[in-house]
Structure 1
Amino acid sequence: MKKIFAAVLAAAVAVSAAGCSPATPAASSAAPSKAEASSAAQSAPAEKETVNFVLDWTPNTNHTGIYVAQDQGYFADEGLTVNIVQPPEDGATALVGSGKADFGIDFQDSLAPAFNTATAVPVTAVAALIQHNTSGIITLKSKGVTSPKKLEGKTYATWDLPVEKAIMKHVMEADGGDFSKLKMVPSTVQDVVAALKTNIDAVWIFYAQEGIAAKVKGLETNYFEFKDIDSVFDYYTPVLIANNDYLKNKPETAKKFLSAVKKGYEYAIAHPEDAAKILCKADPAMDKDIALQGQLWLADKYKAEVPRWGYIDQKRWDAFYQWLYDQKLIDEKIPAGAGFSNDYLPQ
């Protein structure tokens, strides 16, 4: 994990005033012709529509397509001014659900309560930023953890969340391990590289950020991804979410926004080096080597095998929520196909 860097990237709407060339006193008093009025109207810039977008964390390679769309003018081309802001204490989904932000980023596992009747939040996932779950467990190679079973007797930094613990238990037992032998230490790891040099043996990471950071810093590590242990954990993380009322009232604007975002991610896929520079320009405090290597690693993962960036497969989406229900991690079964839509994605 990285420390939160409070920053707001707001794009200003350009306003221009139409002027007249010097004229004789007689000409200046005359009313403009229909042709002149039409020409002036055509030359005046159209007012852009403002969209408020909230991140899930500090700027990182999960977000590159958003910053590329901003930098390359893809939002402007769609007639949009997009304000990119950092999340509040209670997260992006709360802000989007309240209508104070139109779009944001969250994770399928974190979104489960939003689709429960008792804790419902009016949001819908409208795009997968990355096609497959790239999270897993990292350890120093010297610890010898080459599979989940070998986490027995090791110290794991836990967020102390029920879903997290259930996933750890599942992957260990699927590999023949004894989950009760995993030493769980509550810890919010801010620096994975530093943590692995302490008494912490194992950390849950997103490889494009923390895994790449460990590699760039010269650590020799072992790593396994949850989706490789059980396909049910190939859930969507992260996803782009939208406010339900916004989707209902402004469906065409939502489509324009996603069209620009798609172009941003496709640029990042085709030009990872340039995309990394754009990301670092958005957050100058970012380590340029880590950003570049992470961007190169993610380039073929944003879209992966699907023909359309952002596509969410219902079978995978439903399978994870069914697993949560079967494990009694959610009280209410989430109906098939609930909580997401591909309808706003460009074809």
Structure 2
Amino acid sequence: MQKRLIPAVFALVMGLTACSNNQDVNKADDKNTVTSDNNKKSSRKAENKSDEVVKEEKDPDTNELKKVTVVLDYTPNTNHTGLYVAKEKGYFKEKGIDVDIVQPPENGAEALVASGKADFGVSYQDSMANVLAGDAKMPITAIAAIIQHNTSGIMARTNEGIDRPKGLEGKRYSTWNSPVELNTIKKVMEVDGGDFDKLSLIPSTPLDEVAALKEKQTDAIWVFEGWGKVNADIKDYPVDYWNFKDIDDTFDFYTPVLIANNSTIENDKELVQDFVDATRKGYEYAIDNPKESADILLENDDSLDKDLVYASQKFLSKEYKKDTDKWGIFDKERWAKYYTWLNDNDLVDEKLDVNSGFTNEFVE
């Protein structure tokens, strides 16, 4: 699963999840149309199952529910499980919200949320960088961290010496040619004593990373551990893998995140709080019930690989709020450290306020 980069910011077509990874990533062309999750095949409705009945806090009549649109960053995957759980089990309805989950258009979730055509969206800290300042500035703010740590890194065929960044010397790396992406690779290679100039760059964004490695189309690919690496594991294909954050904690940025329009945050705090509370409940359920939550995701998109979803969900359920007691919380220093690196390396059109772009108001 490759990360999607905003075309206005970086050059090409995600995401590691874990789907998840890191870079403003574009999705494949055939998956860019906005599609309501209501059109997905679903064989289970939470309100029809006695063990899933929720107590309505507000009028259960859908005519009285507030319509809300959530736009994803990519096609449905385990980064999004908590959203589907919250919808399927009635957590949104508890809060008086009727949520429609849609897939992103060509110009991305950020643009749709900024324009007011979607109320909430899924993005990444790195993708947000160039739309928080400069001519491309958009009125969006991250309101919750879906996953606490960056679970993306480099995956390569095993026993070829790419079990560390320096091992990329003399190898071929599949790139989408993003300045942020390439500077990230350069930095971790330098930290490990490697020479970035000795790396061969292959313009390519494989959708099936395992197949690309098997067929030797490339030697190394940026993936989300919870999707690309897990996919290799369930296919019994031996790979070497390392996380960027383990090489340099500068790269432990937030990916993915939930975003909202600044106007909504300022003028309808109750809606934002209700949405975050219900979403948190969905992810908490996924943390405690990986198999059942994976089933809900699969019922909302029958095109997904069942074995991959189960394995990925088992991995991510341990990552959603790893090292913290509160799902969705942002570490201010960690957020600022990554944006400081972008500023210092001139990777943004205009210098960022390194403390901007997120709020803990709705997750604390």
Q: TM-score range by the shorter chain?
A: 0.7 to 0.9
Does residue 253 in structure 1 map to residue 281 in structure 2? no
Does residue 299 in structure 1 map to residue 317 in structure 2? yes
Which residue of structure 2 lines up, in the alignment, with residue 8 of structure 1?
A: 36
CA shift, 1:250, in A, is 1.0
Aligned counterparts of 1:341 and 1:139: Cα–Cα separation in 2: 36
| Deviation by residue 1:265-311 (Cα, 9 ceiling, x = unmatched) | 00000000101111111111111111011111111110011121100
Which residue of structure 2 lines up, in the alignment, with residue 103 of structure 1?
A: 120
Which residue of structure 1 lines up, in the alignment, with residue 203 of structure 2?
A: 186
Residue 286 (structure 1) aligned to one of 304, 315, 319: 304
Which residue of structure 2 lines up, in the alignment, with residue 144 of structure 1?
A: 161
Residue 89 (structure 1) aligned to one of 91, 106, 120: 106
Which residue of structure 1 lines up, in the alignment, with residue 91 of structure 2?
A: 74
| Deviation by residue 1:86-105 (Cα, 9 ceiling, x = unmatched) | 00001100111111001001
Gap regions ≥5 residues in structure 2: 3-27, 40-58
Aligned counterparts of 1:325 and 1:337: Cα–Cα separation in 2: 12
Give the conservation status (yes or no) of the 8 Å contact 1:10–1:82: no
User: How many residues are treated as equivalent by the alignment?
Assistant: 316
Give the conservation status (yes or no) of the 8 Å contact 2:234–2:308: yes
Cα separation, partners in 2 of 1:307 and 1:184, compared to 1, 3 Å: same
Give TM-score, length-normalised by structure 1. Answer: 0.88
CA shift, 1:50, in A, is 0.7
* Letter of the 2:171 counterpart: K
Aligned counterparts of 2:323 and 2:264: Cα–Cα separation in 1: 30
Residue 232 (structure 2) aligned to one of 214, 220, 229: 214
Aligned counterparts of 1:43 and 1:74: Cα–Cα separation in 2: 11
SS of residue matched to 1:317: helix
Aligned counterparts of 2:137 and 2:356: Cα–Cα separation in 1: 12
Aligned counterparts of 2:116 and 2:301: Cα–Cα separation in 1: 26
Aligned counterparts of 2:271 and 2:133: Cα–Cα separation in 1: 28
Q: Identity over the aligned pairs, expressed in percent?
A: 48
Give the conservation status (yes or no) of the 8 Å contact 1:141–1:221: yes
| Deviation by residue 1:42-75 (Cα, 9 ceiling, x = unmatched) | 9977700011100000111111000000111100
Aligned counterparts of 1:180 and 1:338: Cα–Cα separation in 2: 34
SS of residue matched to 1:50: strand
Q: How does 1:1-347 map to 2 (within 5 A)?
A: 1=1, 5=31, 7-10=35-38, 47-197=64-214, 198-345=216-363, 347=364
Give the conservation status (yes or no) of the 8 Å contact 2:62–2:98: no
Gap regions ≥5 residues in structure 1: 12-41
Aligned counterparts of 1:141 and 1:43: Cα–Cα separation in 2: 54
Aligned counterparts of 1:302 and 1:273: Cα–Cα separation in 2: 15
CA shift, 1:258, in A, is 0.5
Give the conservation status (yes or no) of the 8 Å contact 1:226–1:234: yes
* Letter of the 1:173 counterpart: E
| Deviation by residue 1:204-235 (Cα, 9 ceiling, x = unmatched) | 00111111111111110000000000011000
Give the conservation status (yes or no) of the 8 Å contact 1:107–1:237: yes
Aligned counterparts of 2:282 and 2:61: Cα–Cα separation in 1: 27
Whose Rg is larger? 1
Give TM-score, length-normalised by structure 2. Answer: 0.84
* Letter of the 1:226 counterpart: F
Cα separation, partners in 2 of 1:343 and 1:43, compared to 1, 3 Å: closer
Larger displacement relative to structure 2 (128-137 or 241-250): 241-250
* Letter of the 1:317 counterpart: W
SS of residue matched to 1:196: helix
Aligned counterparts of 2:234 and 2:67: Cα–Cα separation in 1: 38
SS of residue matched to 2:68: strand
Cα separation, partners in 2 of 1:219 and 1:315, compared to 1, 3 Å: same
SS of residue matched to 1:119: coil
SS of residue matched to 2:230: helix
Aligned counterparts of 2:199 and 2:100: Cα–Cα separation in 1: 43
CA shift, 1:199, in A, is 2.6
Aligned counterparts of 2:63 and 2:114: Cα–Cα separation in 1: 29
CA shift, 1:139, in A, is 0.3
Aligned Cα root-mean-square deviation (Å) = 1.6
